[in-house]
Structure 1
């Protein structure tokens, strides 16, 4: 058994010189049996990247610069693997602290590069400007000194990929490392090894490989060729070896548009063309699925199959022969020529534009089919191939509308998964990813969403967007939790994301306190005010609760909670604060009491009643507090003394040292 990576179109999974490995994987729908993969997906992706990357020239110097200074600016010609090298460099500093974060200056709600809040302790930051124009590069250069300073102070790591040949200020030249292209043969062999091709096969000299590598090839083309070899191997007969696989891969790179056009012009009947399209869209699926989906395409187009006697119809094998396809011994349908399916898809998409909207409806009906052969991989493959045509032709808006339609219709787990996968393909597309991030923002923040589409967006934000753009995921999940309070999934995903980073928790608290918190905001706040992460210091940094900005946010939100919600809504959360203070005596924990009292002090005419409610809640918390009851009693007494001081009653602070223990 060997691993494989499917490359179906230019946006498919490949090792590129200008970007990372892009693996289109459907994100898991809730309760679908798929594992949530936000962290594992990103880690797996980066781990595979490390395995296939052949270190480019000067990689050692780049690694040394990053280790010595915390930042490095990579330069290099397109196709040398600049961004792949950047990701691998950052992966080496992923040790459980901080998060990986791809910086996107200028996008919706992204912090400026000079904003110190952009960096948290141990973060791994990628600023990929390899394709930036001069205006964007100049703006980024202006913010780099401040960004580097924040990275140094937070013991984080930053890799900048600059546009090749771009101007670099003298004070940044020291950090620039130009990488060179690695040997093409080594890159090809590394990919073949990852695909499971035996060493004794690819270690031999081969004329096709020599000819292919004669010209200087970008990394993405070498990766694509290796994947074609892998696919040729899977389709080959036992007696056909490496030379045959390479020849098939070379032939698959030829332009087949004319050949496919000739085939289609000879197929005049609708069932023939429906079968051809179906095989191209479901290439490699079981024959039973091909048969059912072909009939389904005809009915979607308003031309149901003829009700002729079964024994008078051509059998599937004969019909497949008419379109240069066949059935493998395992019962799966493939074209006889490698990568022929890509040419067929492109032909119908380009030359029959009226067919496009029907393909979306047909795909939705197909993924809903019930058949043991219609596996998750087959469904994902169908969605990815359809998405590939939208993206190949620059029709991202059409793909986004298609995904919205799939998720907004009658409840369907498979259609919801298809919508998630379609949006994942859009987000992963190098040319149109930014447009999809903006569309998702508009959906979350401003649009009225129907059906299960909010859940689709929750899944995309939590399990796809958060893996590389956690700040953008945070904002979008916040809006979903705020505007779709009828479900807890957005709130749960938001809380899970905030748990991964102090910086994200700080940003959420700031967002909640920025303007008068709404009732929905208060629900979000109460689920994200866990006292433990607020009082735990990270490395040499202060605890969040010791930061002035965080204190202001907490005070603002608690004041809104104490005045805007009934006691039974906030008491369980206040009790957690009291329990934490009792179990963790010290200045940081005591700040929690100061914040509660300070928030109550701002409640105007109601402050007396609020103080009384806080005291009553502290007394109630004594009964449920774990550990020594005396510590809980001491916490209540300390709270009362702070309330008394706030009300200027002049009461003497009770002696609680014996109950509370020494301060830390």
Structure 2
């Protein structure tokens, strides 16, 4: 990872911004720590498992699976809409292992390693390189790096799936790995989706003219999935006497452009309360009537609409008002439009043709998610946030959505607003047209912006649970910036260390980043938390431990030297004791390597090295008293450390310590007190 370049980039400033030198410190609150919502990383895993269940294997999926199993690499080709990217993710999911991580490669993006860098691949990783939308220049550059990438994948027993541009050229030596997949029969795809939606098989196995008409010709897989979802929703709102044919007919009708209908409806609603209710139902479609009523009142207050002055008992009741906008309340009290998918047309109409409403909708959404109503459940809040996010993203206003999430996280933000901010940013990251923009924006926030209120903890959760699921290297860098700036909490630091510990590659990158930093106190604090000796000496599934790698040794020595030279002993001693305990745990030469690194770091302290050597020895003696497996092995480790110190000072092999702890201590003090240039 690289140090940020010169200058400061500020986008859509809200409140304070950082435009000069020096550190910026932020506080990460605890509002989201106790959230009962599932972690987005688990949600991402659930979505991938569901994708595997719902995917109808495209033609040649078996060949792609066999090629991947045999060579560790497969290059998927196929027409857009054939299911190439879904097939790629499913193929990699089948190789999910505890020792590796899923990683979507993003050549050319900030702080992403180049494809030819062997450090990009770790043992057992599952790598996706989706170049289906790449232009000729991007595809040519990637092709040049593929031999080196494949070599690293082979050496690390990893798996790589590449989605190439359709009709893109491929070098002759890579043709063996190319598999062209073809879309499976559309009817099979539709039926699989319907089955996953819980539609009874005796219904969807019936021949149907609407289905036949819809599937005539070739439909992209995404369109078939969307039609199946419309059938599901039509079934949920249908009368008891309606069956599959009626559900499909309703779904077909919902696919029609309703803009003229909605335009005519809005033109006939001249009163502000009517339009407020129409907007509310479209944004909270399916919510309970109580929520609709209160949210519509909130919208009027947000827009500063004057009260009508009519006595309460003379107001139209909600049933009559809903009838005026072609909506109704179901048996459970939930409000929906009478026509399927009418809500999306209403949302698009107001967003497109009343743009002055847009700034007010953000404040209104924040008020609604804060409503103290038992019917405002997480699904209602999430649905509301997603609907407003879709409008921002649909019209190319990712900056507006990002600013909205930032405002929701301002001072004294509630947990509901913070979760809404996380969900809004997640929508941006998951949108193929805006994901890169949001990743860059999150980088700017984490590295350069002064963060107001509780926005820092929103970014921690976004990086740890959303970005890390597919782009762990980018998440690592962003969490690093948050961790070195936070005060009064260690949530970003904990998330950073948890992410780094999930992969040897990530831990290597974090240590390298720290060693190349300015080694300020925040960096050293991160290092002390991240230098856990257990994963450093673990050889599970690999030929050598991290501590045996030359690059890692250099990073550890550099950081430990800065710690020993600039921090008080009380700060680093618990961590040094942990290293000494690990060295005494029977890890053999890997434990010895830990001692050598400590001694080498102390040896760099020049005029203070005698003092630092003495402090290390004293820490080893103290570690004997706290050793988890008793003092015997720790005493041997102390003797070995003393020997290494003596050798470093040019004093030759250390004499055998006497049985008396006092005499051993005196001998150590005499040895450690000697220094040489």
Q: Give TM-score, length-normalised by structure 2.
A: 0.92
1:136 and 2:134 correspond? no
Provide the C-alpha distance between the structure 1 equivalents of 2:448 and 2:56, rounded to a whole number of angstroms: 45
Counterpart in the other structure of 2:33:
30
Q: Does 1:284 align with 2:289?
A: no
- Tell me what 1:214 maps to: 216
Distance 1:312 1:233 in 2: 37
Per-residue CA deviations over 1:424-450 (Å, capped at 9, x if unaligned) read: 000000110000000000000111101
CA–CA distance in structure 2, aligned partners of residues 175 and 37 of structure 1: 34
Matches within 5 A, 1:367-406: 367-406=369-408
How far apart are the structure 1 equivalents of 2:212 and 2:451?
A: 55
* C-alpha deviation, 1:602, in angstroms: 0.5
Of residues 438, 441, 449, the one that matches 1:439 is 441
Find the residue that maps to 1:142 and give its secondary structure.
helix
Q: Distance in 2 between matches of 1:319 and 1:535?
A: 69
SS at match of 1:374: coil
How far off is 1:43 after superposition?
2.1
Partners of 2:566 and 2:452 lie apart in 1 by 30
Moved more, 599-608 or 298-307: 298-307
Q: Within 5 Å, which residues of 2 pair with 1:450-599?
A: 450-599=452-601
Measured in 2, the distance between the counterparts of 1:633 and 1:420 equals 51
Q: How does 1:95-244 map to 2 (within 5 A)?
A: 95-244=97-246
**Which of 355, 362, 371 is the matching residue for 1:360?**
362
List alignment gaps of at least 5 residues for structure 2.
1-30, 659-677
Question: For the aligned residues, what is the CA RMSD?
Answer: 1.2
What CA deviation, in whole Å up to 9, does each residue of 1:593-617 have, x standing for no partner? 0000000000111111111111010
Deviation of residue 181 (structure 1)? Answer: 0.7
1:654 CA displacement: 4.3
8 Å CA contact retained: 1:299, 1:305: no
Q: Give the equivalent residue in structure 1 for 2:622.
A: 620
Q: Distance in 1 between matches of 2:66 and 2:606?
A: 58
Match of 1:86 among 78, 82, 88: 88
> Per the alignment, do residues 37 and 435 of structure 1 end up closer, same or farther by CA in structure 2, a change over 3 Å counting?
closer
Report matched runs for 1:329-368 at 5 Å.
329-368=331-370
User: How many Å apart are 1:142 and its aligned residue?
Assistant: 1.0
Stretches of 4+ aligned residues off by more than 6 angstroms: none
Determine the C-alpha separation between the residues in 2 that align with 1:638 and 1:167: 60
Output the CA distance in 2 between the equivalents of 1:518 and 1:265.
63
1:552-585 Cα shifts (integer Å, max 9, x gaps):
0000000011111111111111101111111124
Q: Displacement of 1:537 after TM fit?
A: 1.3
Contact 2:624-2:630 within 8 A present in 1 as well: no
The superposition leaves residues 438-464 of structure 1 with CA deviations (integer Å, 9 ceiling, x where unpaired) of 000000011110100000000111111
Residue in structure 2 matching 1:64, options 63, 66, 69: 66
CA distance, structure 2, for counterparts of residue 472 and residue 304 of structure 1: 49
CA distance 1:655–1:182, shift in 2 (3 Å): farther
Residue 323 of structure 1 is matched in structure 2 by 325
Q: Secondary structure at the match of 1:326?
A: strand
Instruction: Give the Cα separation in 1 of the matches to 2:263 and 2:102.
Output: 46
1:307 Cα shift? 4.1
User: 2:128 aligns to what SS in structure 1?
Assistant: strand
Structure 1 contact 485–520 (Cα < 8 Å) conserved? no
- Aligned partner of residue 127 in structure 1, secondary structure: strand
Contact 2:122 2:156 in 1 (8 A): yes
Aligned 8 A contact 1:641 1:654 in 2? no
The separation in 2 between residues aligned to 1:209 and 1:216, in whole angstroms, is 13
Q: Flag the 1:492–1:307 CA change in 2: closer, same or farther, 3 A.
A: farther
- 2:459 and 2:350 map into 1 onto residues whose CA distance is 31
| Structure 1 residue ranges without an equivalent (≥5) | 1-27, 657-664
- Secondary structure (helix, strand or coil) at the match of 1:408 reads coil
Task: Measure, in 2, the Cα distance between the counterparts of 1:652 and 1:563.
Answer: 24
Alpha carbons 2:408, 2:418 under 8 Å: kept: yes
| TM-score under structure 1 length normalisation | 0.93
- Distance in structure 2 (CA, Å) of the matches to 1:584 and 1:302: 72
1:280-307 C-alpha deviation (Å, 9 max, x unpaired): 0000000000000000000000114434
SS of aligned partner of 2:81? coil
**Secondary structure of 1:527's partner?**
helix
1:174 CA displacement:
1.1
Q: Would you say the 8 A contact 2:517–2:523 is kept in 1?
A: no
Q: Write out per-residue CA displacement over residues 88-139 of structure 1, whole angstroms, 9 at most, x where no aligned residue.
A: 0001101222000000011110000000000000000000000011111111
Instruction: Indicate which of 631, 634, 639 corresponds to 1:632.
Output: 634
- Residues of 2 paired with 1:304 and 1:396: CA distance? 32
Shift of 1:410: 2.6
Distance 1:304 1:645 in 2: 85
Q: Is the 8 A contact 2:195 2:201 kept in 1?
A: yes
Report the Cα distance in structure 2 between the residues aligned to 1:471 and 1:47, rounded to whole angstroms. 23
Q: Which residue number in structure 2 is paired with residue 294 of structure 1?
A: 296
Alignment map for 1:250-289 (pairs within 5 Å): 250-289=252-291
Residues of 2 paired with 1:364 and 1:585: CA distance?
54
Instruction: Give the whole-Å Cα distance in 1 for the aligned partners of 2:657 and 2:573.
Output: 26
Confirm or deny: 8 A CA contact 2:77 2:179 kept in the other structure. yes
Please give the alpha-carbon distance, in whole angstroms, between the structure 1 residues aligned to 2:176 and 2:38. Answer: 44
In 2, the alpha carbon distance for the partners of 1:37 and 1:427 equals 12
Deviations 1:242-291 (A, max 9, x none): 11110110000000001000000000000000000000000000000000
Q: 1:398 to 1:148 in 2, by over 3 A?
A: same
Distance 2:50 2:407 in 1: 34
Query: Number of residue pairs matched?
Result: 628
Other-structure match for 2:430:
428
Give the match's secondary structure for 2:475.
Answer: helix
Cα displacement (A) at 1:655: 9.2
